[in-house]
Amino acid sequence: KKGAIKMALKTGTSILPVTLYNTNNFFIKNIIFNSGLSVYIHVHPLIDILKLNEYEKENLASIIRDQIVKKLETIKKALNH
């Protein structure tokens, strides 16, 4: 989210991008979670805001989004979805 990125840039806080797959059916009405569902989680490398150049800072949302999309494609391909 852009707000979280702006806050990280302003405070110099690192960002830890996470890709989640198959979470859309994880929570079912009146049930805390669907225990029969496989959810895939990928934790990307930590992004140290202080080490980014100006271009990377200005395009950070797109950079993170591209990382997540690429990982989702890899997961879908591995699962034949």
One pLDDT digit (tens) per residue for the chain, 81 residues: 689 999 999 999 999 999 999 887 776 666 666 667 788 999 999 999 999 999 999 999 999 999 999 999 999 999 987
Classified as helix, coil or strand, 19 is strand
Exposure string (b/e) for 48-62, b if CB count within 10 Å is 16 or more? ebeebeeeeeeebee
Per the structure, the count of domains in the chain is 1
Rg of the Cα trace of the chain? Answer: 16
DSSP 27: S
Range of the domain at 10: 2-79
Are residues 63 and 56 in contact, defined by beta-carbon separation less than 8 angstroms?
yes
